[in-house]
Chain A
Amino acid sequence: DADVTQTPRNRITKTGKRIMLECSQTKGHDRMYWYRQDPGLGLQLIYYSFDVKDINKGEISDGYSVSRQAQAKFSLSLESAIPNQTALYFCATSGGFADTQYFGPGTRLTVL
């Protein structure tokens, strides 16, 4: 079984709709991250959380919000989706001394 799972894997929505992307991990890591990937670009950090009570904005947090429901769960919400939020979204976790990041399989989001 995958250590980091994301749901849904694909989502098509309309402008103005609220949607939530979910991430779960079984690695027991404290730190979780949400990234966005656009074609031809690297990963841009949206939000990150170092533990259940700690939420921080990344480089491109405008238009997004997050919730850390438990150590193992970190969800990303688009309050009112717009077309330029069409992208691949990845969740990642890290923990321990080495702090290596492990990624989920991604969610492909299309906003029409």
Chain B
Amino acid sequence: GQQLNQSPQSMFIQEGEDVSMNCTSSSIFNTWLWYKQDPGEGPVLLIALYKAGELTSNGRLTAQFGITRKDSFLNISASIPSDVGIYFCAGQPATSGTYKYIFGTGTRLKVLA
């Protein structure tokens, strides 16, 4: 099935460092969502973006909806051990005409104390 290009696939960082990940597509999207998934659990919504250029924060997390509507990034500032997990982006294609979302393959984050 169709999936978004999400990078990096995985990253090891030191506690306190900032983290950045992004999703890109060749298609235009109406909505971008960012989720975090812990092992054995369902994805939990972190941030939702609905307009091109929108910049939204949720605590130490900041996400932006790209101006071209084809990309989005998520930043985590001052990472802590509990940030460990898999981060997924999801986009709603503008041409889909439905409420379906396409998901990235995830960024696996590991934080070294």
Q: Which residue numbers of A lie inside 8 Å of B, CB to CB?
A: 4, 31, 40-45, 48, 50, 56, 58-60, 90, 94, 98-106, 108
Contact = CB atoms under 8 A, between A and B. Distances in A.
Given A90-B42, A100-B31, A101-B101, 10 more contacts: A41-B106, A42-B104, A43-B103, A44-B103, A98-B48, A99-B99, A100-B45, A103-B45, A104-B42, A106-B41
A39 to B, nearest CB: 11
Given A94-B99, A106-B40, A44 B45 contact: no
B22 to A, nearest CB: 15
Contacts of B3: 41-42
Contacts of A102: 45
Interface residues of B, number: 27
A100 B54 CA distance: 16
Contacts of A108: 40
B44 A103 contact: yes
Contacts of B35: 103
Contacts, number: 63
A31 B2 CA distance: 21
A69 to B, nearest CB: 20
Contacts of A104: 42
Nearest to A41: B105
B99 A31 contact: yes
A22 to B, nearest CB: 15
A55 to B, nearest CB: 13
B50 A98 contact: yes
B108 to A, nearest CB: 9
A104 B99 CA distance: 18
B63 interface: no
